[in-house]
Amino acid sequence: MAPEQSSQVMQDEARAVQVREGMADVLAYLLRLSDVLDVDLEQALAEKIEKNRCKYPVHLARGKADKYTQLGG
């Protein structure tokens, strides 16, 4: 879904409620799963951001949706 379409979805209040509730369900499940598996989500996120920073250097990836193997460099 394009960003423009996403914002249009959120302009319909009934649909926006459904979206927020669905996102809350996913977040609640993720938080519970991370607790059960003893995963530090903040650390996992920081590690993933760093991994992506290395795979998608700004000078090659900015404004592109290419997979890292297609960026060249």
Contacts of residue 72, Cβ cutoff 8 Å, sequence gap at least 6 = 60
Mean of pLDDT over the chain: 88
Same domain assignment for residues 25 and 54: no
The pTM assigned to this predicted structure is: 0.69
Same domain assignment for residues 31 and 52: no
How many structural domains is the chain composed of?
2
The beta-strand segments (E) located in the chain are none
For residues 67 and 16, the model is more confident at 16
What is the pLDDT averaged over residues 26-47? Answer: 98
Which residue range is the domain that position 23 belongs to?
Answer: 1-38
Specify the pLDDT at position 18: 95
Same domain assignment for residues 50 and 67: yes
Question: 48 and 41 in contact (C-beta within 8 Å)?
Answer: no
Question: 51 and 40 in contact (C-beta within 8 Å)?
Answer: no
Tokens 């914002």 correspond to what residue?
Answer: 7
Three-class secondary structure of residue 10 per DSSP: helix
Same domain assignment for residues 3 and 29: yes
Phi then psi for 18, rounded to 5 degrees? -60, -45
